[in-house]
Chain A
Amino acid sequence: MTRISMSVDGANYTDEVEPRTLLVHYLRERLGKIGTVVGCDTSNCGACTVHLDGTSVKSCTVLAVQADGHDVTTIEGLAQGEQLHPMQQAFHDNHALQCGYCTPGMIMQSIDLLQHNPHPTEEEVREGLEGNLCRCTGYQNIVKAVLSVAEGATS
């Protein structure tokens, strides 16, 4: 077992974990951060995407021990009380989710995308999200939501 410490959604945690424990399993099973979900076992779907020191990672491809000493933000840490993050609001406003299973990862990746490219074209948004799979929406409204936040930032 290895001792790790990290900040998750603004709170500090210290735990003993098996070295093989994936970050997503640590978040879900030890910390109860069940807003982050698992959709595959090959790092294709992106449902488990979180931010590690502000940058998106698939938490199924990061060991919990690799996050030792770092800051993790999950979907549960985005809203300030009742105030939704602009990306969460945009997903709601644009009907960018149906079953909602991919949504936490999709929102986290979308935020990261705009951090790196504040004014993307539609094509850049589509390419920036290609590591996140959605089976319900056909992506049209997800792309629309992301573009709406990008436009909002310029106004």
Chain B
Amino acid sequence: MTVTEDRPTTEVGAPRRRKEDRRLITGRTRWTDNITLPGMLHLAMVRSPSAHATIRSVDTSAAKQSPGVVAVFTGADLADEQGASLPCAWPITPDQKAPPHPAMAVTSVNFAGEIVACVVARSAVEAKDAVELVDVEYDDLDVVLDLAKAAADEQVVYPDLGTNVSATWVFDSAEEGTGTDVDAAIGGAEIVIERTYRQQRLIPAFMEPRSVVVDPTGEQTTLWSATQIPHILRLMLALTCGISESKLRVVAPDVGGGFGGKLQVTPEEVITLVVGRRLGKPCKYTETRSESLMAAHHGRDQLQRLTLSATKNGTVTGLKVDLLADMGAYLGLVTPGVPILGAFMYNSIYKFPAYRFTCTNVFTNKVWTDAYRGAGRPEATYAIERLMDELAVEVGVDPMEIRERNWIKHEEFPFTTVCGLEYDSGNYEAATAKAKELFGYDDLRVEQQRRRTANDPVQLGIGISTFTEMCGLAPSRVLGSLSYGAGGWEHASVRMLPSGKVEVVTGSSPHGQGHETAWSQIVADRLGVPFDDIEVLHGDTAVSHKGMDSYGSRSLTVGGMAVVAASDKVIEKARVIAAHLLEASADDLEFGDGKFSVRGTDASMGIGEIALAVFAAHNLPDGVEPSLDSDATYDPTNFSFPHGTHLCAAEVDTETGEVSIRSYVCVDDIGKVINPLIVEGQVHGGLAQGIAQALWEEAVYDESGTLVTGSFVDYLVPSAADVPAFTTDRTETPATSNVLGVKGVGEAGTIASTPAVVNAVVDAVRHFGVNDIQMPCSPLRVWTAIQRASAGDSTPRDVSTTDDNAIPSHNAQLGDGDTEGDTEGGQA
């Protein structure tokens, strides 16, 4: 069923150049760090070098004497105002364990980089100088870093909790009545595949470092922040610090990327707020990149133990997932729920009859993890797409064939999965056919075989990822059933100005996505007003008073639908007034191209004319308020399920282990497209991040818990020279759960690409006996895998412990050939 309108559109679907570009390409931007206020003071943070210690003493006397310093605060100084703990909005079980997480440490530190004091000075330079003069004495404690060992409680991070396990969460299809018993399926299976995969720790690495400015003068304290979530932040800061929500205004001005990394209530925001209010002066804090990499939340960091059962012809009969998820030292805003977002996606596009997912959330002495682009779904997609390749090898068929045997056919939609989700629409066959053609799949398979036969030192691998994801977070009832602390609706207002221009206020909070352009396209068609007559306002709680912000590919599917609903209310309000002014029955009016026409006559009136008449209010029907302005709050009825087929051809130099992507083709089906230019850009950026997980990026700690990849020298965000050119295309199967027919595109590229690349790398060297290479697939890891397999060690590499995560990835002096940490080869 498709419920999109047949009315011809002019804007939706057009590759409009973005409205927001002009200020960004001319340097007239409003980044938080650009804000300067009269008398503004600057904060610099004193951070713990120790990953686990009690604080014996903090001596601030020398720092206080340093030039320009106004004040120095310790955790003890701020303990009353900063509140007991930063918020966690997602307790996944009733008995979830969590330590208090004070913005500034008071008695102990639990990861390297945790804030123990702050200096306030007249300039940022003077504040940073004085940081060196704060003398903190620590009593070091044993550090807990290895995820598997932490789960076994060999040493505990928090003795008061008595365990490192925060919570265990289970989904069982037999218990839920959505499927059959997975143990029975595995017990009687013809094929059983067991694998352990490591989702390495990643860093979101948005380009704009986080920054916060607080102005405590005036009736409301105003806080500007480089955040994805101004609305959630306002409520959470008020609750955390005991400030009346009505006394706080939060503004997200231009925000330079987020990728989940700015979906947080940060210690730095709380501290700057508390200090600004304490001193009564505007205050600013801007992090350095090193601080950002060290102390802004990380992503991923899971250990996946997987068991897949199948018949001998390759029909999957069951999947069991046993997950360990590294929380780091604390629970951030949605930390414990990130793996749960993946729980419903391991079955992906396939018709699995039996499924069980068990997740154990574990504390370690590392910065906490939280949302990073995809959040749970990339991990799930990686696991199942890697397993489907392994199954294809067991059965002895092409990996695409094994997927086709198991996926939901297009005529089977809507389809209720083994997780109980109803996939509304999709066409995996169409996306795959298009992708294979663009890729030249069959020709590449022939070439691959030729190179194998010739024993070419450079081998070719072909990687497939046929993925889906759940987007449009989220139906509020579903969030409630998962114990999430809020709803999943979105708000919008549409305001008709007397001149006929339109202001659209959205609760979505863009940070690079292009909402100003896309929302204008939607409203232009809906109201029949010119694209350039529409202004989209956002990101300021004094302007957009209500919202749930931007993350989880939700802005268009939820926020865009709120804009549609508010626009439709404007039309219905205008209809009554138009009928009055045109002296016609409202039932006889048609609305199209921005005007109401009386059926069967020439009489008509434009919505701009009605807006002016409403402004004058001289001649309105009795009892009708003089306003067309409308609000709408939209709560989705279902998730949306974009999907696609991604194909990667990788060349592997078997003598050096170097991987080079020869071609990457993806065909995504994200339903209806509002702006193809923006959609393509989202896919490109997502691909680069997903490929980076496969080949380059990893946050590495040394054995004392110090982040080794603490700068862009070591944390290998890819450059233009590293990433390949992409071939992107689309199929269009509209979502049936919203009238726009849209599904969301923000995370697709990241979710799909990682397994496509790793599947290609493994496929290139599988004939040596290799069946897995741990991410990132650095030259050393690839070369080592080939050497081991060639030497006859065909047992799957044991990653059940994660000690190698503690090996500095770039440390060339490690002579042990078994170490698999080298990640050179990112940026040349």
Contact B208 A39 (CB under 8 A): yes
Residues of B within 8 A of A66 (CB): none
Residues of B within 8 A of A56 (CB): none
Contact B26 A139 (CB under 8 A): no
Say yes or no: is A67 at the interface (Cβ < 8 Å to chain B). Answer: no
Say yes or no: is A117 at the interface (Cβ < 8 Å to chain B). Answer: no
Of B29, B205, B688, the residue contacting A138 (CB under 8 A) is B688
Contact A138 B21 (CB under 8 A): no
Q: Which of B26, B28, B677, B717: most chain A CB closer than 10 A?
A: B26
Q: Which of B29, B205, B689, B726: most chain A CB closer than 10 A?
A: B29
**Chain A, 102-142, contact with B by CB distance < 8 Å: what is the 0/1 string?**
11100100000000000000100111011111111111111
Say yes or no: is A76 at the interface (Cβ < 8 Å to chain B). Answer: yes
Residues of A within 8 A of B513 (CB): 98
Nearest opposing residue in chain A for B690, CB measure? A138
Residues of A within 8 A of B26 (CB): 35, 75-76, 78-79, 84, 88
Q: A39-B209, A99-B511 are in contact. Are A135 and B259 (CB under 8 A)?
A: yes
Contact A135 B205 (CB under 8 A): yes
Say yes or no: is B791 at the interface (Cβ < 8 Å to chain A). Answer: no
Contact A37 B31 (CB under 8 A): yes
Say yes or no: is B514 at the interface (Cβ < 8 Å to chain A). Answer: yes
- Bound together, the chains give a CA A45 to CA B18 distance in angstroms of 24
Contact B684 A42 (CB under 8 A): no
Say yes or no: is B681 at the interface (Cβ < 8 Å to chain A). Answer: yes
Say yes or no: is B22 at the interface (Cβ < 8 Å to chain A). Answer: yes
Contact B721 A127 (CB under 8 A): yes
**Chain B, 678-692, contact with A by CB distance < 8 Å: what is the 0/1 string?**
101110111111000
From 61 to 80 in chain A, residues with beta carbon under 8 angstroms from any chain B beta carbon are 74-76, 78-79
Residues of B within 8 A of A103 (CB): 24-25
- Bound together, the chains give a CA A38 to CA B205 distance in angstroms of 14
Say yes or no: is B167 at the interface (Cβ < 8 Å to chain A). Answer: no
Say yes or no: is A59 at the interface (Cβ < 8 Å to chain B). Answer: no
Q: A92-B25, A101-B31 are in contact. Are A130 and B827 (CB under 8 A)?
A: yes
- Bound together, the chains give a CA A95 to CA B685 distance in angstroms of 12
Say yes or no: is B512 at the interface (Cβ < 8 Å to chain A). Answer: yes
Give, as a whole number of angstroms, the nearest-CB distance from B720 to chain A. 4
From 6 to 54 in chain A, residues with beta carbon under 8 angstroms from any chain B beta carbon are 18, 25, 28, 33-42, 44-45, 47
From 12 to 33 in chain B, residues with beta carbon under 8 angstroms from any chain A beta carbon are 17-18, 20-22, 24-29, 31, 33
Contact A98 B512 (CB under 8 A): yes
Say yes or no: is B102 at the interface (Cβ < 8 Å to chain A). Answer: no
Of B21, B289, B725, the residue contacting A91 (CB under 8 A) is B21
Say yes or no: is A57 at the interface (Cβ < 8 Å to chain B). Answer: no
- Bound together, the chains give a CA A135 to CA B25 distance in angstroms of 16
Residues of A within 8 A of B726 (CB): 138, 140
Residues of A within 8 A of B719 (CB): 126, 129-133, 139
Say yes or no: is B407 at the interface (Cβ < 8 Å to chain A). Answer: no
Residues of B within 8 A of A136 (CB): 207, 257, 512, 681, 685
Say yes or no: is B254 at the interface (Cβ < 8 Å to chain A). Answer: yes
From 154 to 212 in chain B, residues with beta carbon under 8 angstroms from any chain A beta carbon are 205-209
Give, as a whole number of angstroms, the nearest-CB distance from B303 to chain A. 27
Residues of A within 8 A of B254 (CB): 99-100
Contact A130 B721 (CB under 8 A): yes
Nearest opposing residue in chain B for A37, CB measure? B31
Residues of B within 8 A of A151 (CB): none
Contact B721 A138 (CB under 8 A): no
Tally of contact residues, A, Cβ under 8 A: 55
Q: A40-B712, A138-B726 are in contact. Are A126 and B721 (CB under 8 A)?
A: yes
Tally of contact residues, B, Cβ under 8 A: 57
Give, as a whole number of angstroms, the nearest-CB distance from B792 to chain A. 40
Say yes or no: is B446 at the interface (Cβ < 8 Å to chain A). Answer: no
Of A40, A84, A101, A125, the residue contacting B256 (CB under 8 A) is A101
Give, as a whole number of angstroms, the nearest-CB distance from A155 to chain B. 21
Contact A138 B687 (CB under 8 A): yes
Say yes or no: is B812 at the interface (Cβ < 8 Å to chain A). Answer: no
Of A39, A42, A45, A97, the residue contacting B21 (CB under 8 A) is A97
Nearest opposing residue in chain B for A143, CB measure? B720
Contact A76 B289 (CB under 8 A): no
- Bound together, the chains give a CA A131 to CA B827 distance in angstroms of 9
Residues of B within 8 A of A44 (CB): 711-713
Say yes or no: is B723 at the interface (Cβ < 8 Å to chain A). Answer: yes
Contact B720 A42 (CB under 8 A): no
Contact B681 A142 (CB under 8 A): no
Nearest opposing residue in chain B for A47, CB measure? B207
Contact A125 B720 (CB under 8 A): yes
Q: A40-B289, A100-B24, A100-B29 are in contact. Are A139 and B712 (CB under 8 A)?
A: no
Say yes or no: is B288 at the interface (Cβ < 8 Å to chain A). Answer: yes
**Chain B, 217-235, contact with A by CB distance < 8 Å: what is the 0/1 string?**
0000000000000000000
Residues of B within 8 A of A104 (CB): 27
- Bound together, the chains give a CA A140 to CA B18 distance in angstroms of 17
- Bound together, the chains give a CA A34 to CA B286 distance in angstroms of 14
Say yes or no: is B454 at the interface (Cβ < 8 Å to chain A). Answer: no
Residues of A within 8 A of B29 (CB): 34-35, 37, 100
Residues of B within 8 A of A79 (CB): 26
- Bound together, the chains give a CA A126 to CA B720 distance in angstroms of 5
- Bound together, the chains give a CA A34 to CA B687 distance in angstroms of 31
Residues of B within 8 A of A45 (CB): 207, 289, 712
Residues of B within 8 A of A131 (CB): 719
Of A76, A129, A134, the residue contacting B721 (CB under 8 A) is A129
Give, as a whole number of angstroms, the nearest-CB distance from A98 to chain B. 4
Contact B689 A135 (CB under 8 A): yes
- Bound together, the chains give a CA A8 to CA B726 distance in angstroms of 39
Residues of A within 8 A of B17 (CB): 92-93, 95
**Chain B, 498-526, contact with A by CB distance < 8 Å: what is the 0/1 string?**
00000000000001111000000000000
Selected A-B contacts with CB under 8 Å, 9 pairs: A95-B681, A98-B512, A98-B681, A98-B685, A133-B712, A133-B717, A138-B687, A138-B749, A139-B684
User: B: which residues have CB within 8 A of A?
Assistant: 17-18, 20-22, 24-29, 31, 33-34, 125, 205-209, 254-257, 259, 288-290, 511-514, 677-678, 680-682, 684-689, 711-713, 717, 719-723, 725-726, 749, 827-828
A37-B29, A41-B290, A136-B681 known; 13 new pairs, CB 8 Å cut-off, are A42-B290, A42-B711, A92-B22, A98-B257, A99-B255, A99-B256, A101-B256, A126-B720, A137-B681, A138-B688, A139-B688, A139-B719, A142-B720
In the A-B complex, list the 9 residue pairs whose CB atoms are closest, starting with the nearest. A35-B27, A99-B512, A100-B24, A101-B256, A138-B684, A44-B712, A138-B688, A75-B27, A40-B289
